[in-house]
Chains A and B, each alone.
Chain A
Amino acid sequence: MTNDSAPTTQPTYYQEVERKGYSRRDFIGFVTMMAAFMGLDKSAIGQVVKAMETKPRIPVIWLHFQECTCCSESFIRSSHPIVADILLDKISLDYTETLMAASGFQAEASLKNTMEKYKGEYILCVEGSVPTGADGVYCMIGGKTSMQILEEAAAGAKAIIAWGSCASNGCVQSAKPNPTNATPIHKLLKTSVPLIKVPGCPPIGEVMAGVIVHLVTFGKIPELDRLGRPKAFYSKRVHDSCYRRPYYDAGLFVETFDDESAKKGYCLYKVGCKGPSTYNACGVMKWNNGTSYPIQSGHPCIGCSEENYWDNGRLYDRASAFAGFGIEANADTLGKAALIGTGVAIAAHAIATNVRKHKLIFNLEKEGKQSEKELES
């Protein structure tokens, strides 16, 4: 924000840690936790420590578009206080609409300054989708459309992080009929700046911190999967790390939310759990300081980090509605109808065959009977 006098050289993360009054022990604890989350080897902890001690903090511009700010909320409620205090506080120093003190012209000036001063060095974090409908008027800040702001900020960024499902996939505001034409940022940006998608509604705070720590430590973006998500956090399905998985394999399922199976804590697959289709770290990291996560609370995973989860399926049903055939029709309903239709058509065809091709069949039979008779004699 409005730092006293913008320092010419940025302080390192560790300097900030010390300045905020954290002990060395707190700091090492934080680094160890982050390294574990990132799936790093124990030997890499020293590397992370060194990076945090020596590397100046990365300037960050954090843009908010069409979203609910749950990503920021998730981040600042990350389990370790250093995450919020140092990473967010310090990285978001430059510009973030939600948390900065500056407003109006001052805020816009801050954004402009950061973009100019740290051209090619800053990390651009984007929270929210960009509504492109009606020339982008649905989301405008300081007289500019979100698309304009995004394009300007993306041009000079070192890397772009798409926080949450809005920026990564479009999330609920891009659900049909998508009146504002909300669009995830990777579909809009034409720059060669690397983009990291951190989907989830919201993403887990520790995952967000882990991505930032990785960028700081290694100076490059983490290894990404085919959909552009960091492999360290999105390579496994929620299903694979689910503590209820044994019930799934055993074939023991909750049928309704108030049945005996629900009380026993059986698998939530049949009440619509999207865990088997959702790639996220919820089962391992959990939420709110590792307290719980939806499945642990008896609620199926809704697949919030998956593209189109809002349109692709019902929340409490494995089968999805079949568009254009009413909300109750799923693939199996249609399949059964088609099967009945086929059966009727076959019956009609069989009858028609015996009528229309009567002579043909009659001759065949006659021929066969004749041969049979000749054999007798």
Chain B
Amino acid sequence: MANKLLHIHRLRRVYVWELPVRIYHWVNALVIVALIATGFYIADPLALQSQREATDKFTMGWVRYVHFAAAYIFFFNFIFRIYWGFVGNKYANWRQFIPISKKFFKEMWYVFRMDILMLKGKEHMSIGHNAMAGFIYFLTFLAYLVQCLTGFGLYAGMSSWWLPKLFAWVPAMFGGDILTRQIHHWSMWFFILFAVIHVYLVFYHDYVEGRGEMSSMGGGWKFIEEEVFERNHHQTPNPEPKKTTPETITPNPDKPLPENVTTK
């Protein structure tokens, strides 16, 4: 029985995550898992009581090899993502990540109130990242930087290639490898905690919004209600304004959002 009050939404397909962004994301996820796993092993290797000769084994050597290979992939993937932040679509743009406007902070505050404090009100709907997510990703980029600096800094002494040698100043800045290694190890925990929260929030957004959050990193599509799309479209008739904030829809008290996004 068709409920008159129930509004069936027409969804509009938006291509949010371009293929390079998706490839970046999954390569990054894969190498970070590899780096954490091998990193834990390197920090505290398993007790292998083997009767074999050392010449037959290269366990630590292989683990380290995987760690270093993954580190190179991670590094170049990171460089590529920075580049894509300048040439990619508006959702990949660097402006999505760095809070440089008042609007950005306002949106962050709004997301915090809705998603974390769970206050009543209009749901915040973003197409790309919401401001809070963008800012957290900015922090992860800083963590990437820390890991690249300390990691290649530690690696510099063992390498004959010029690229890792560019980082030789890092351990020198910290007075040596001991502290550098520890910073490298501490920072790893940021990645672990981030990954856990990140995966949870993807589930969360998919669950409360039903707009393909989870699958978006597969096909690149997110879905947006026709009314919301229209409304947003009218608000920004010019697709390339000098906007400095993420492409988001902030609640407008004059024009209420569709029913399903209100919590009243």
By a beta-carbon cutoff of 8 Å, the part of chain A in contact with chain B is: 169, 225-227, 235-237, 240, 246-253, 255, 260-261, 269-270, 274, 276-279, 303, 306-309, 312-313, 318-320, 331-332, 334-335, 338-339, 342-343, 346, 349-350, 352-353, 356-357, 359-361, 363-364, 366-368, 370-371, 374
Q: Which are the 6 A-B pairs with shortest beta-carbon distances? A: A251-B59, A307-B175, A277-B177, A226-B172, A250-B57, A335-B189
Restricting to B172-191, which residues have a CB under 8 Å from any CB of A?
172, 175-179, 181-182, 185-186, 188-189
Our pick among A276, A338, A361 for the contact of B208 (Cβ within 8 Å) is: A361
User: CB distance B189 to A331 under 8 Å?
Assistant: yes
Question: Main SS of the interface on chain B?
Answer: helix
Docked pose: A248 CA to B209 CA in angstroms: 51
Known: A277-B178, A335-B192, A335-B193. 19 other contacts (CB 8 A): A227-B175, A240-B158, A250-B54, A251-B48, A252-B50, A252-B54, A252-B57, A270-B47, A277-B176, A278-B177, A279-B176, A308-B176, A331-B182, A338-B193, A342-B196, A352-B118, A357-B208, A359-B264, A367-B260
CB of B55 within 8 Å of the partner chain = yes
User: CB distance B182 to A312 under 8 Å?
Assistant: yes
Docked pose: A246 CA to B263 CA in angstroms: 64
Question: Main SS of the interface on chain A?
Answer: helix
Set of chain B residues within 8 Å of A374, measured between Cβ atoms: 2
Set of chain B residues within 8 Å of A303, measured between Cβ atoms: 178
Q: Tally B residues with Cβ within 8 Å of A.
A: 59
CB of B83 within 8 Å of the partner chain = no
User: CB distance B61 to A249 under 8 Å?
Assistant: yes
Asked whether A251 and B8 contact (CB < 8 A) given A319-B44, A339-B192, the answer is no
Question: What residue of chain B has the Cβ atom nearest to residue A227's Cβ?
Answer: B172
By a beta-carbon cutoff of 8 Å, the part of chain B in contact with chain A is: 2-3, 6-9, 43-50, 54-61, 63, 116, 118, 120, 123, 157-158, 168-169, 172, 175-179, 181-182, 185-186, 188-189, 192-193, 196-197, 200, 204, 207-210, 259-264
User: CB distance A252 to B48 under 8 Å?
Assistant: yes
